[in-house]
Structure formats: C-alpha cells, structure tokens
C-alpha cells in the first residue's frame, strides 16, 4: 500500500487509544491513512460477540489491526492467570472470525514473545515457537494470544483469508503504563527509582536475582513495524518484531538508577520469580519480508521514556 492506497482504506485499530495503539495510529496517519476508527472499550466489549458484530457493521473496515489485549507484568499474570487467558482469548478469536465473515480484506494479529517456549534457543527463531511450553508465570496469556496464529493459518488454508501474525518483544516508551500493580519491568523500575530518590530511601527492592535477560523494543519502532507489515506482508508465517538487543535485569536496573539519579542500594528479592531465563529474538524475517529494522537505540529510548514520565509527575 502506498500513501494513496492508505488514504482509501478504512482501518479499524482495536486498542488504538492505548500505549502501542496511539503510536500505531500516529504512524498510520504519516503513511497516509485518513479513515481510522478507534473503538473504545467502554463502548465495545470485545469479549461479547454481538457487540463485535455491531462494531464491524458500523465501521465497515477494510483492514483490522488488533492491538487490544489484557496485559501486565509477572505480578499481574501470577495474580490473574484465568482472566488473562479468558479475556485475551475472547477479545481475539471471535473478532477474527467475525472480521472474516464481514468481508474484511486483511487482519493484523498481534501476538506476544510470551508465546515462546520457556527454554527456547537464543536468539528465538519463529520456527521454534511450538517446541515446548511457555514460561509458567505468563503461559495463560501467551497461549491465548498464540491461538490467533493457529486461527490465522487455518482461515488462510480453508477460506483464503489474508491475515498476519506478529510477535513483538517487550515494549517500552513514552505513554507506557506506570501503575505498580500492572506495569512491565522498565516503567516499574523507573517509577521505583524516582520515588525512592524523592523520598530519600537508602535502597530499593527488585524481584528475582537480576540474571534474567530481556530484549526491549521502543514503542515507536514497533508501531512502524506493524504498519509496514500491514502494507507489505501477506503470509500467515509468524514474524518476530524486535531490536535484537539483549540486556540483563541487573544491568537494566543499574542503567535506570544512573539515569534517574538514584544512588541507593539495590536489594534482590530472590523469593520472587525471574520469569523466562533469556529473551532475544532473531529479527531477520521482518527485515527480509517487509524491510523493518529497529532504529531507536536503547539508551535513546530509555532517556525519552524517563523524561516523559518525569513530566507526568512534574519532577
């Protein structure tokens, strides 16, 4: 799709008002999209099939980008595994089916790195996706999202329905969720360091032992990848979306402490889980298939995220 083609497409973005969604909508507009519809959760409960049908009938989208999900860090996943499974499954599978029935031209499904097996060889290759069970703390979430890949491949095989499945790694950036009960690791650590510094605390407590590694992708880069894939990619083979940059949680907290000015001690609570031991993606398929390569360095993205949050809390 070139800019002229985008201008004629009716694009529905579920979760379009959320963290990733706002960045995707901005990128869509830059690519020339004019008819973008953002259904709000207070009006449309995607777990209800009738409501989903009404929404599709109202907006008549040519393209659906499905970003809406129930997400959270390890703590939230451990506390609400049933809800994470049910809500993510029921927000996705019926929407996909009803989109096919409604004649939608293309469906962009967003999966999660949590769908990978716990002990996947590093870097994670898409072909290893089914070689084991996901890490236990977020397996219900990861498996619920993974069912969209099964659905995508089945509907392409039987109906010729054009859908794609993308696997973003952990995201971060301005607009992230900083709620301590549900946030992911980067916003959680930024908030913890800034609040400790403000109070004059001598130490902060961090989950695990710091040995786990993670790959992080700046949210603006992920949004660009999604729009490029929507434009250029038409296969049901899953595609990793990442930065190919890996950092240990221990190095991450030291970097955040340094950037936020927290000079106290870091105490590791080893009674809490580390989560998956290592995470780094093989991102070659995304570059080959639709020309995506992350462009924001981790240092640059982290600085932008901290500055954004400082402005929100007026520090």
In the chain, where the domains are located:
3-172+215-245+278-296
- The CA distances from residue 19 to 50, 89, 119, in Å, are 26, 20, 29
pLDDT of 2 reads 60
pLDDT at 182: 77
Place of tokens 């499904």: 109
Task: Give every residue of the chain whose pLDDT is below 70, as ranges.
Answer: 1-4, 315
Q: Checking DSSP bridges between strand 246-248 and strand 213-218, what pairing results, if any?
A: antiparallel
Mind telling me the catalytic residues?
Answer: 141
Task: Report domain 3-172+215-245+278-296's class.
Answer: alpha beta
Residue 71 parent element (H or E)? none
The pLDDT score that the predictor gives to residue 70 is: 86
At 308 the pLDDT is 96
pLDDT at 72 (0 to 100)? 76
- Cis-peptide into 97, omega within 30 deg: no
Query: Backbone phi, then psi, for 259, in 5-degree steps?
Result: -70, -30
Count CB neighbours of 211 within 10 A.
12
Q: Kindly state the tokens that stand for 188.
A: 């959680």
Alpha helices in the chain (DSSP H): 3-8, 19-30, 49-59, 74-79, 81-90, 93-101, 139-159, 185-199, 219-232, 249-260, 284-290, 298-312
Q: How far, in Å, CA of 34 to CA of 39, rounded? A: 16
> Could you tell me the pTM of the whole model?
0.93
Please tell me the number of Cα atoms within 13 Å of 199 on its side-chain side: 11
Q: What is the pLDDT of residue 315?
A: 64
pLDDT given for residue 276 in this prediction: 77
């Amino acid at each position: 799709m070139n800019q002229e083609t985008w201008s004629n497409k009716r694009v529905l973005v579920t979760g379009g008002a959320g963290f990733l969604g706002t960045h995707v909508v901005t990128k869509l507009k830059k690519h020339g999209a004019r008819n973008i519809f953002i259904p709000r959760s207070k009006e449309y409960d995607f777990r209800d099939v009738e409501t989903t049908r009404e929404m599709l009938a109202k907006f008549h989208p040519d393209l659906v980008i499905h970003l809406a999900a129930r997400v959270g860090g390890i703590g939230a996943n451990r506390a609400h595994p049933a809800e994470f499974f049910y809500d993510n499954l029921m927000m996705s599978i019926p929407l996909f089916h009803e989109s096919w029935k409604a004649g939608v031209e293309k469906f962009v499904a967003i999966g999660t790195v949590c769908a990978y097996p716990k002990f996947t060889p590093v870097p994670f290759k898409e072909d290893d996706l089914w070689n084991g069970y996901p890490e236990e703390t977020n397996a219900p979430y990861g498996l619920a999202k993974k069912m969209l890949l099964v659905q995508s491949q089945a509907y392409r095989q039987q109906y010729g329905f054009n859908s794609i499945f993308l696997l973003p790694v952990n995201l971060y950036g301005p607009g992230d969720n900083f709620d301590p009960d549900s946030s992911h690791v980067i916003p959680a650590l930024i908030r913890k360091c800034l609040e400790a510094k403000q109070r004059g605390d001598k130490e902060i407590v961090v989950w695990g032992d710091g040995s786990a590694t993670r790959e992080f992708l700046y949210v603006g880069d992920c949004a660009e990848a999604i729009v490029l894939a929507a434009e250029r990619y038409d296969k049901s083979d899953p595609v990793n979306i990442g930065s190919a940059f890996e950092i240990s949680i221990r190095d991450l907290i030291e970097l955040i402490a340094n950037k936020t000015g927290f000079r106290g001690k870091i105490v590791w609570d080893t009674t809490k889980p580390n989560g998956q031991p290592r995470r780094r993606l093989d991102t070659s398929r995304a570059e080959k298939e639709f020309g995506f390569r992350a462009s924001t360095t981790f240092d640059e993205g982290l600085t932008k995220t901290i500055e954004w949050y400082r402005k929100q809390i007026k520090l």
